């Protein structure tokens, strides 16, 4: 293989987008295993609930933007959560064309049980890092997220 061909070859074990994807899938699957059987929640449904617990009153498109999930996946998750009585939908104040979502009382109760499970998984994962490495990871993730945010202007 020529040098230029070797330089253009993607080595997945070192390719950051691939490694982040694998890590995300592993972590999400581990957390999901803890709540999916008990509450019947999928990963997209949990993410919608988590966003709305933090920021009630968002439209589905805003939830999709905050989670970087596909709009179709968010729409399906919202529909399932509405049918299960875990979300409420109402018209936005001042804009009757826009509907906004929030956790229902049942959804808030499920969230209150799942959130500690998710946080415990996070603590266990971060336990592998020294405190300085945890701080560096948070700083690096913030930088990368800001750099990839479509709303942030490029320099």
pLDDT by 10s per residue, the chain, length 155: 556 666 789 999 999 999 999 999 999 999 999 899 899 999 999 999 999 999 999 999 999 999 999 999 999 999 999 999 999 999 878 777 789 999 999 999 999 999 999 999 999 999 999 999 999 999 999 999 999 887 765 55
CATH 3.40.50.150 fits 40-147, yes or no: no
Angstrom distance (rounded) from CA 89 to CA 99: 6
pTM: 0.85
Q: What is the residue extent of each domain of the chain?
A: 40-147
- Token readout for 16 is 């950051």
Angstrom distance (rounded) from CA 108 to CA 102: 9
Angstrom distance (rounded) from CA 12 to CA 72: 28
- Token readout for 84 is 């299960």
- Token readout for 76 is 């399906």
Angstrom distance (rounded) from CA 113 to CA 86: 13
């Amino acid at each position: 293989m020529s040098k230029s061909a070797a330089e253009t070859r993607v080595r997945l074990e070192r390719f950051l987008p691939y490694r982040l994807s694998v890590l995300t899938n592993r972590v999400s699957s581990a957390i999901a295993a803890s709540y999916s059987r008990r509450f019947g929640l999928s990963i997209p449904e949990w993410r919608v609930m988590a966003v709305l617990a933090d920021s009630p009153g968002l439209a589905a498109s805003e939830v999709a933007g905050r989670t970087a999930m596909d709009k179709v996946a968010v729409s399906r998750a919202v529909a399932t959560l509405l049918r299960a009585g875990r979300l409420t939908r109402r018209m936005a104040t001042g804009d009757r064309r826009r509907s906004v979502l929030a956790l229902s009382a049942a959804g808030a109760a499920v969230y209150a049980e799942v959130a500690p499970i998710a946080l415990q998984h996070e603590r266990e994962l971060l336990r592998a890092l020294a405190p300085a490495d945890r701080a560096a990871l948070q700083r690096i993730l913030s930088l990368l997220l800001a750099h990839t945010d479509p709303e942030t202007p490029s320099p």
